[in-house]
Amino acid sequence: MDFKIKIPFLTLFLFLLFSSIFPLTFSAANKPFNTDKLHRLASSAVFRVQGNVYPLGYYTVSFSIGNPPKLYDLDIDSGSDLTWVQCDAPCKGCTKPNHQLYKPSNNLVQCVDQLCAGVHLTSDHHCDTPDDQCDYEVEYADHGSSLGVLVRDYVPLQFTNGSMISPKIAFGCGYDQKFSGHTSPPSTTGVLGLGNGKTSILSQLHSLGLIRNVVGHCLSGRGGGFLFFGDDLIPSSGIVWTPMLPSSSEKHYILGPAELLFNGKSTTVKGLELIFDSGSSYTYFNSKAYRAILDLVINDIKGKQLTRATEDPSLPICWKGSKSFKSVSDVKNYFKPLALRFKKVKNLQMLIPPEGYLIVTKHGNVCLGILDGTEVGLGNLNIIGDISLQDKMVIYDNERQQIGWISSNCDRIPNIDRDFEGDAFQQPHAANLGIFDDRCPADSEL
């Protein structure tokens, strides 16, 4: 069977290969920032998110770049650092019409620039001449890649305090995109990397003193949601935090070790290290864990009037009922909740309700949105993808080296949407964040 599994921009093993080396003469691109001032900053740049897990398989933001600004739809990816857009240059694998491509205009980042050198993984960064351009290559775990050149341009951002600020930000202009194997070519114009590496927009905004080094997303199960840089939208209570694994701080957001609970009970699936990757549509476990989970689910639905739907090409494991299903709520009662229990913090859990691991396809079947990562080349890695991150605000706090989450209604941006609904626009303020309090109980309860 030919399973067309979309894993857009599943981003591990990220390699940023920058051309050339030269003495590290840093240009003074970034203003020094004052830590005291940062602690008092409570403003965030906020973006509305479009997309869904099924049928699209990705979440995107409309990102403005340039002066005058143009909009680019970028896949949001907490599994990589570099943001890039398809480049209006002799371009291989560019899928967009010309007017949606980014046209560089004398704004190439130089090879000697701090960003070009600073991101380099190895020490062999050199520049033949100081005004060489800064080439980059990003490779994604699904064997896709983007190759291009770094440019710097205005990125107008709307902040929650009402200010519109247009800092100059470096990003990739990608002219050679490759997609192989099971990867479908992107229908987006690029990737918004949410990682914490030096090239990421997050790090750049932070070094300009505009935000705290915090990024969060809230992906709605009904599609859409929002994304923010900075810590202004974080509720003052109810979030559960767990420390990032130290090795993860540079490239990926990794938590662990965790144990899988099935219907609240311990399982043999233990010691998991989990990458939180909004660039992956589904959740992946290593083969051993995957088979254990599949066994648990299959044993549990025995005698529940579900039969395997082997003819549904959407995902590897699907079931049909006596009538065709319209949404996961039709099948919710057949399936048990999963949870991840993190060892480091006592009783800390992330609940994965049936909506967090099942989809209902256009054929009316229910399919398992947990996949075998080893089979698609991920080896022993486990990835928590969009499907399991839905309907939660997930916050990556790089300053405190921790990741937090809270069940949330991601359909509305706190403060902002509420304020627009009222009769006057008020300056959004942290005091309004109480709207999260009456939602589902926090995942940490127990």
Ligand X SMILES: *[C@@H]1O[C@H](CO)[C@@H](O)[C@H](O)[C@H]1NC(C)=O
- Active-site positions read 77, 277
* 124-163 positions binding ligand X, by CB under 6 A: 159, 161, 163
Phi first, then psi, for residue 434 (nearest 5°) are -60, -15
The answer to whether residue 285 forms part of the interface with ligand X (CB under 6 A) is: no
The answer to whether residue 67 forms part of the interface with ligand X (CB under 6 A) is: no
* 89-108 positions binding ligand X, by CB under 6 A: none
* 191-220 positions binding ligand X, by CB under 6 A: 210-211
The CA–CA distances, whole Å, from 149 to 192, 247, 301, 310 equal: 16, 28, 52, 45
**Minimal distance in Å, beta carbon 312 to ligand X?**
48
Cis peptide leading into 55, omega within 30 of 0? Answer: yes
Instruction: Determine which residue in the list 20, 43, 145, 183 makes contact with ligand X, applying CB under 6 A.
Output: 43
The answer to whether residue 166 forms part of the interface with ligand X (CB under 6 A) is: no
Give the three-state DSSP class for 36. helix
Q: Which residue lies nearer to ligand X by CB, 213 or 220?
A: 213
- Using alpha carbons, select from 275, 247, 245, 20 the residue that is nearest to residue 122: 20
**Minimal distance in Å, beta carbon 436 to ligand X?**
22
Residue with tokens 């990867």: 183
Q: Which residue lies nearer to ligand X by CB, 118 or 209?
A: 209
Instruction: Determine which residue in the list 12, 41, 117, 387 makes contact with ligand X, applying CB under 6 A.
Output: 41
- What's the rounded Cα separation, in Å, for the pair 274 and 257? 8
- Using alpha carbons, select from 136, 141, 84, 101 the residue that is nearest to residue 279: 141
**Minimal distance in Å, beta carbon 162 to ligand X?**
6
The answer to whether residue 319 forms part of the interface with ligand X (CB under 6 A) is: no
Q: Which residue lies nearer to ligand X by CB, 84 or 159?
A: 159
The answer to whether residue 24 forms part of the interface with ligand X (CB under 6 A) is: no
Q: Which residue lies nearer to ligand X by CB, 41 or 296?
A: 41
Pair 260, 340: CB distance under 8 Å: yes
**Minimal distance in Å, beta carbon 227 to ligand X?**
16
Length reported for the chain: 446
- What's the rounded Cα separation, in Å, for the pair 72 and 120? 26
The answer to whether residue 267 forms part of the interface with ligand X (CB under 6 A) is: no
DSSP string, 106-133: S-BPBTTSHHHHHT-SSS--B-SSTT-B
Which residues of the shown chain bind ligand X in the complex (CB under 6 A)?
A: 41, 43, 159, 161, 163, 165, 210-211
